């Protein structure tokens, strides 16, 4: 037998796919299923079923997280991912040793430089429409480079409605807008989960079967690049299909 790893590859989103914040859970949270620490205290947990599934996935597949989380927020995740990782909406590819893929970082740095002014304009636009501090917002920065802009509501998710259109106007057609629940984000075209998966896939694929798993419409492009796609019931994708 050669030492080649023939296990299938699983590219998987994290939040609302493998785990979620306590308020979204229909069963009591258990500290033994703590999945990710949040700096604001709103930690994320797996359900009993998610925990069982995740354990099985880690044993049987090469699990590669593909997440909007920054590398810092990904490091607060408690699931023991051993291999490659994709963070910051595709802005970063991390090796199993935790180093950044240099070719990908060089590519992203060019896109980041082009997007910088518009990312700052998005920040300014929220500043001037946030007198009651209903929203929190930030530019996700990796290795000193601005990657994407993200806004969340501090209360009702519907508070994002009023800001979405003005921000779309500022972003123009240079950004991919993502809205799901309490997440509103703008990522420069060229930086995406799909592009990062395609780049990483070049070096990993070989003969391996590839599965893609995620809950959001913006996960679909990277999932569709795989052999099979998997979605959680009740997710944004499930709802869009019209099944729920």
Binding residues for Mg ion, rule: CB under 5 A, are: 13, 15-16, 215-216
**Which is closer to Mg ion, CB of 23 or CB of 131?**
23
Task: Compute the distance between CA of residue 194 and CA of residue 1 in angstroms, rounded to an integer.
Answer: 33
Please report how close the Cβ of residue 129 comes to Mg ion at its closest, in angstroms.
26
Angle between helix 102-127 and 161-171 (nearest 10): 120
Neighbouring C-alpha atoms within 13 Å toward the C-beta of 34: 11
Please report how close the Cβ of residue 18 comes to Mg ion at its closest, in angstroms.
9
**Which is closer to Mg ion, CB of 13 or CB of 51?**
13
Please report how close the Cβ of residue 16 comes to Mg ion at its closest, in angstroms.
4
**Which is closer to Mg ion, CB of 125 or CB of 193?**
193
DSSP state of 181: T
How far CA 214 is from CA of 71, 73, 223, in Å, comes to 19, 18, 7
**Which is closer to Mg ion, CB of 91 or CB of 145?**
91
Please report how close the Cβ of residue 35 comes to Mg ion at its closest, in angstroms.
13
Number of residue whose CB is nearest Mg ion: 16
Phi, psi of 29 (to 5 degrees): -80, 150
Instruction: Write the burial class of residue 208 (CB in 10 Å: 0-12 exposed, 13-18 middle, 19+ buried).
Output: middle
CB 217 within 8 Å of CB 67:
no
CB 199 within 8 Å of CB 91:
no
**Which is closer to Mg ion, CB of 16 or CB of 101?**
16
Please report how close the Cβ of residue 13 comes to Mg ion at its closest, in angstroms.
4
Cross-strand partners of 183: 180
**Which is closer to Mg ion, CB of 175 or CB of 222?**
222
**Which is closer to Mg ion, CB of 51 or CB of 215?**
215
DSSP H helical segments within 46-128, as ranges?
48-60, 71-75, 102-127
Task: Compute the distance between CA of residue 160 and CA of residue 45 in angstroms, rounded to an integer.
Answer: 25
Q: Nearest 5 degrees, angle CA 144-CA 213-CA 65?
A: 35
Please report how close the Cβ of residue 214 comes to Mg ion at its closest, in angstroms.
6
Please report how close the Cβ of residue 109 comes to Mg ion at its closest, in angstroms.
26
């Amino acid at each position: 037998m050669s030492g080649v790893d023939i296990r299938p590859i699983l590219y998987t989103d994290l939040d609302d796919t493998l785990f979620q914040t306590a308020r979204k859970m229909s069963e009591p949270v258990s500290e033994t299923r703590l999945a990710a620490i949040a700096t604001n205290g709103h930690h994320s947990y797996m359900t009993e079923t998610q925990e069982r599934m995740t354990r099985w996935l880690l044993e049987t597949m090469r699990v590669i997280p593909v997440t909007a989380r920054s590398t810092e927020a990904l490091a607060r995740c408690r699931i023991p991912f051993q291999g490659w990782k994709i963070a910051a909406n595709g802005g970063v590819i991390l090796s199993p040793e935790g180093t950044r893929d240099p070719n990908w970082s060089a590519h992203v740095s060019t896109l980041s430089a082009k997007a910088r002014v518009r990312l700052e304009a998005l920040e300014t636009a929220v500043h001037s429409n946030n007198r009651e501090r209903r929203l929190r917002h930030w530019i996700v920065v990796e290795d000193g480079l601005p990657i994407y802009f993200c806004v969340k509501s501090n209360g009702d998710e519907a508070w994002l409605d009023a800001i979405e259109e003005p921000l779309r106007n500022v972003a123009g057609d240079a950004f991919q807008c993502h809205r799901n629940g309490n997440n509103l984000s703008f990522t420069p075209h060229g930086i995406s989960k799909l592009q990062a998966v395609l780049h990483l896939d070049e070096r990993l694929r070989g003969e391996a079967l590839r599965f893609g798993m995620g809950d959001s419409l913006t996960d679909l492009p990277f999932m569709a690049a795989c052999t099979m796609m998997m979605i959680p019931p009740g997710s944004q994708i499930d709802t869009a299909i019209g099944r729920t």
